């Protein structure tokens, strides 16, 4: 049975990123290198994003309000770098992704930058850069929540799609309008959107390039909640999540991610394997003990 128990490594080494050795503890993205001393989230300085941390909850803000937070190459590289840092920070239990200002979450890719690219290889490289950033955020072992206030179009919706939970304000507008530029979505939108809402609905949005509001997005399962203050609602959801066992949360994400890439039978085998791994954790023992003793559990992520 080709499950994860064959020559099984430890739970931590199998599923959760480990801090790099001090001699090699650095990040490299878009020609930028940050050494060991630079890897504290609350001290990092970026050009186009900010990260604020309050307890176990971090908020990543795309910070280009004059450009409606459009994603250029630098921003995509910084998103990937931030994912690296967050993955190696044991103090972060949940991540909220949002956009600066009151007009847009992220209005899309930076069209002026795209217009300057020439040839299929340049386009492919930009697509791969965006896909890498989205994949790194999606693959974080912690929950990632999008707080969508305003426009989430093109690459902005693709950024929201890589999150686990999406919360939109009533004035949010969402869509994948790339065909109006003679393009298709390039940051995994053609892959993630059909998996989330079905091929028919996804094709309707991509082929017509129409924008939808928050209530329609909620009705089709594109967003999970509609809230007047999506960032505050995201904090509330994150606070509810981080009360639970952190290893169990990560294993749930792992089971869903791997299961979606295979058939039902193989997915159930993955689930059973991860269920068994969860049984081996101290958190499981603490959770059951706390339940029987009628008290809140004190999880340690072990």
Cα 147 to Cα 163: distance, rounded to the nearest angstrom: 10
DSSP string, 99-116: ESSSSEEE--B-HHHHHT
Task: Give the CA distances from residue 180 to residues 27, 83, 130, 296, in Å, rounded to whole numbers and listed in that order.
Answer: 36, 31, 20, 53
The structure tokens 């990937």 sit at 80
Is-catalytic flag, 254?
no
DSSP category for residue 140: -
Given 47, 78, 158, 236, the catalytic residue = 158
The token pair that represents 101 in the structure block:
């200002």
- Are 197 and 170 in contact by the 8 Å Cβ rule? The answer is no
Cα–Cα distance measured from residue 296 to residue 25, given in angstroms and rounded to the nearest whole number? 36
Give the position of tokens 């809402």.
Answer: 197
Catalytic residue check, 158:
yes
Which residues touch 6 (CB under 8 Å, ≥6 apart)? none
∠ CA 234-77-254 to the nearest 5 degrees? 50
Say how far apart CA 112 and CA 138 lie, in whole Å. Answer: 27
Cβ–Cβ under 8 Å, residues 227 and 167 = yes
Catalytic residue (choose from 45, 178, 216, 302): 178
CB count, 10 Å around CB of 133?
27
> Among the residues of 67-185, which ranges form H helices?
73-87, 111-115, 120-138, 155-161
As annotated, the active-site residues are 158, 178
């Amino acid at each position: 049975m080709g499950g994860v128990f064959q020559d099984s490594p430890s739970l931590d080494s199998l599923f959760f990123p480990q801090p790099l050795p001090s001699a090699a503890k650095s990040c490299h993205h878009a020609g930028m290198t940050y050494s060991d001393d630079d890897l504290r989230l609350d001290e990092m300085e970026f050009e186009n994003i900010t990260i604020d941390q309050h307890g176990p909850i971090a908020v990543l803000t795309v910070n280009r309000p004059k450009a409606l937070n459009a994603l250029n190459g630098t921003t995509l590289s910084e998103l990937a770098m931030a994912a690296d840092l967050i993955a190696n920070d044991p103090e972060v239990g949940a991540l909220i992704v949002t956009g600066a200002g009151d007009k847009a979450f992220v209005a899309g890719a930076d069209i002026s930058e795209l217009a300057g690219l020439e040839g299929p290889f340049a386009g492919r490289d930009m697509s791969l850069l965006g896909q890498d950033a989205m994949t790194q955020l999606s693959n974080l072992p912690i929950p990632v929540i999008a707080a969508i206030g305003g426009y989430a179009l093109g690459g902005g919706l693709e950024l929201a799609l890589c999150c686990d939970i999406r919360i939109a304000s009533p004035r949010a507008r969402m869509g994948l309008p790339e065909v109006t530029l003679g393009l298709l979505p390039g940051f995994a939108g053609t892959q993630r959107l059909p998996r989330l809402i079905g091929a028919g609905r996804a094709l309707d949005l991509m082929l017509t390039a129409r924008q939808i509001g928050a209530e329609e997005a909620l009705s089709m399962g594109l967003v999970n909640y509609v809230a007047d203050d999506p960032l505050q609602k995201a904090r509330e959801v994150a606070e509810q999540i981080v009360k639970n066992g952190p290893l169990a949360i990560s294993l749930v994400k792992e089971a869903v991610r791997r299961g979606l890439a295979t058939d039902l039978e193989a997915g159930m085998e993955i689930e059973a394997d991860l269920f068994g791994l969860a049984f081996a954790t101290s958190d499981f023992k603490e959770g059951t003990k706390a339940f029987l003793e009628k008290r809140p559990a004190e999880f340690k992520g072990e």
